[in-house]
Amino acid sequence: MTALFPAIDLRGGRCVRLTQGDYDRETVYGDDPVRQARVFADAGARWVHVVDLDAARSGEPTNRPVIAAIAAALAVDGVAVQTGGGVRSVEAAAALFDAGVRRVVVGTAAIETPELVPAIAASGRVVLGLDVHGRDVAVRGWERSSGRSILEVLAGFDPASLDAVVATQIAVDGTLAGPDLGLYRELLAATSVEVIASGGVGRAADLAALAALEVGGRRLAGAIVGKAIYDGACTVEDALAAVAGPGALDGGR
């Protein structure tokens, strides 16, 4: 794999994690997201993945000032921010790009308004966020089903408009139970777009397993890790070593 994406999920301006996407099963890990981002950067991470959970649910950019502060704090050391949650218009994406975000993740809006993706891609780097129950794509902060499979949805997008696709397996997200390796094998076989794994990583060995995946000469582009780091099951340093598995490249793409 090429990159580790330590995760900061924002709700009410605080660092939290949800279990299996359930807003009623929230763990708070801190009230200073900027400091947490600096901890990740100081440990060697070259990307930080930020999700505005409030915006994902409501569409309102509640935590945008916090995201801007994170991007500004990390820019000093050239650490990039990838952000999603509630990006449902060109204007919302532009505001994040203007705030210093390197890549914008579009989920619900991409499913409901596919033409939004190339429109945003005309001015910045877009990541398609596909969150699944099994293989069924969920929308609106994971609370509703789209009624479509992940491969069906992915096939509807021009790879030229996408910098990457983040695929989150909701069933294991926040559980530390291990990633859905089968899901990522299917995606590597189905698309030329770079694939980033999300959900279920519980230890460095899980990241090593993701890094070892290879289908048709292709490997995952990266992995998002949250709870395992916050709970102390895996340090950022150990995670970075694990993702730098066979064929690893520079994570600062």
Residues composing the chain: 253
Cβ(104)–Cβ(127) below 8 Å: yes
Dist CA 36 CA 8 (whole Å)? 8
Cα-to-chain-centroid distance, residue 206 = 17
Percent of the chain that is helix, strand, coil (3-state, to 5): 35, 30, 35
CA distances from 89 to 73, 92, 198 (A): 26, 5, 24
- The candidate with the shortest Cα–Cα distance to 89, out of 66, 115, 63, 67, is 115
152 residue type, one letter: E
Choice among 52, 131, 163, 206 that is catalytic: 131
For residue 38 the two structure tokens come to: 């600096």
Dist CA 182 CA 149 (whole Å)? 14
Active-site residue, 9 included: yes
Choice among 9, 52, 173, 238 that is catalytic: 9
Dist CA 253 CA 182 (whole Å)? 26
Question: What is the set of active-site residues?
Answer: 9, 131
